[in-house]
């Protein structure tokens, strides 16, 4: 029997007003995610991935349909969801430590300053809490953004291309760190990415979106690799390249349907 859905996205549609008239960007996007599942959404640039995710974040309103998280309809942002974007959007006048404390203060009363430390440690920033964002590399800033999202202890993490602005080596490091954090906490994750290999490494299921206008889910691919996963082991599997081809084929040929 299927476990009950933790996130229910039902017949979601979004039409934006434009000077040329209404533009229907997303149509009839329906997806159920069970608790503890890691789901990646891939699709061509501009198809509407961020639109869908921003509605789940509560930062954008649907034109049709809706989103229910743990039985409650989304009607705005909340601390039950940790969000990470392409850039970390840290407060520049606060230390790294205080940026994470800001999240902790939202969800726990009377936390001590030491409470932020485990979250910084988990992303490899042990001892760097007193630095300011400007004193960090882009990769380190993004690590703080991830620490901040986890500090909320949210049941759901929403990540919109969190690693796409990083160089390839840093990206791999952060992917491994995110995977480690996820293995330990088993939060439910919904993540948008352009990177097919990233999706195959991290996801339990990969949702492939068709191109717009009126983009929707074209196919969903289940990733069969056992966990815990190691990059080297996955890359050594024959089915890795078969699955990778499935996704690339979809994006190259069938996304246009
Ligand atoms: N507020 C808005 N008003 C009008 N059109 C919008 C608005 N936000 C997004 N769009 C349009 O909706 C479409 C989808 O945008 P969205 O940002 O969701 O795409 P995306 O799949 O996340 O793209 P990318 O991969 O480049 O981030 C685009 O054509 C964009 O121009
Ligand atoms: Mg986007």
Q: Residue range 61-76: average pLDDT?
A: 98
Task: Answer whether CATH 3.90.1150.10 is correct for domain 5-80+156-256.
Answer: no
Query: Which letter, b or e, does each residue of 173-202 get, where b requires 16 or more Cβ atoms within 10 Å of its Cβ?
Result: bbbebbbebbeeeebbbbbbbebbbbbbbb
Cis omega (within 30 of 0) for bond into 221:
no
Give the mean model confidence (pLDDT) for residues 159-187.
95
The tens digit of pLDDT for each residue in 103-149 reads 999 998 888 989 999 999 999 999 999 999 999 999 999 999 999 99
Pocket lining: 251 vs ligand 1, CB cutoff 6 Å: no
Measured in angstroms, how far is the CA atom of residue 74 from the centroid of ligand 2?
Answer: 20
Q: What is the pLDDT of residue 256?
A: 81
Closest Cα to atom 17 of ligand 1: 50
Which element (helix H / strand E) includes 228? none
**Would you say residue 1 has pLDDT above 90?**
no
What's residue 109's pLDDT?
Answer: 86
pLDDT band per the 50, 70, 90 thresholds, residue 251: very high
pTM of the entire predicted model: 0.96
Q: What pLDDT, on the 0 to 100 scale, is given for residue 257?
A: 60
Residue 212: the pLDDT is 87
Give me the chain's average pLDDT, please.
Answer: 95
Residues 6+ apart with CB under 8 A from 58: 74, 75, 76, 77, 78, 81
- The verdict on the CB of residue 142 being under 6 Å from ligand 1 is no
**Distance in angstroms (rounded) separating the CA atoms of residues 154 and 190:** 12
Per-residue pLDDT tens for 44-66? 999 999 999 999 999 999 999 99
Structural contact between residues 175 and 201, judged by C-beta atoms closer than 8 angstroms = yes
* Contact in structure between 188 and 205 (CB atoms under 8 Å): no
CB atoms within 10 A of CB 89: 14
Q: 112 CB less than 6 Å from ligand 1? A: no
CA-to-CA distance for 57 and 74, rounded, in angstroms? 8
State residue 4's pLDDT score. Answer: 86
Distance between Cα 148 and ligand 1 center (Å): 26
Give the nearest ligand 1 atom to 194 CA: 25
Count how many residues are written for the chain.
257
Mean pLDDT of 164-172: 94
- For the chain, the domains span 5-80+156-256, 92-153
Task: State in Å: Cα 157 to ligand 1 middle.
Answer: 21
């Amino acid at each position: 029997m299927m476990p009950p859905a933790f996130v229910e996205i039902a017949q979601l549609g979004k039409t934006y007003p434009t000077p040329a008239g209404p533009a229907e960007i997303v149509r009839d996007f329906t997806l159920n995610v069970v608790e503890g599942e890691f789901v990646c959404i891939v699709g061509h640039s501009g198809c509407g991935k961020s639109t869908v995710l921003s509605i789940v974040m509560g930062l954008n309103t649907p034109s049709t349909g809706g989103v229910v998280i743990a039985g409650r309809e989304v009607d705005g942002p909340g601390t039950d969801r940790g969000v990470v974007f392409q850039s970390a959007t840290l407060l520049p006048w606060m230390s790294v430590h205080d940026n994470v404390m800001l999240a902790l203060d939202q969800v726990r009363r009377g936390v001590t300053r030491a409470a932020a430390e485990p979250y910084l440690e988990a992303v490899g920033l042990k001892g760097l809490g007193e630095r300011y964002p400007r004193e960090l590399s882009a990769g380190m800033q993004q690590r703080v953004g991830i620490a901040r999202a986890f500090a909320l202890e949210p049941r759901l993490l929403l990540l919109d291309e969190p690693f796409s602005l990083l160089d390839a080596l840093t990206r791999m490091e952060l992917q491994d760190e995110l995977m480690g954090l996820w293995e330990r906490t088993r939060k439910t994750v919904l993540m948008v990415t352009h990177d097919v290999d990233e999706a195959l490494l991290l996801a339990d299921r990969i949702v492939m979106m068709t191109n717009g206008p009126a983009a929707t889910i074209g196919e969903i691919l289940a990733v069969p690799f056992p966990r815990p996963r190691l990059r080297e082991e996955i890359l050594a599997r024959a089915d890795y390249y078969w699955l990778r081809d499935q996704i690339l084929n979809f994006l190259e040929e069938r996304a246009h349907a």
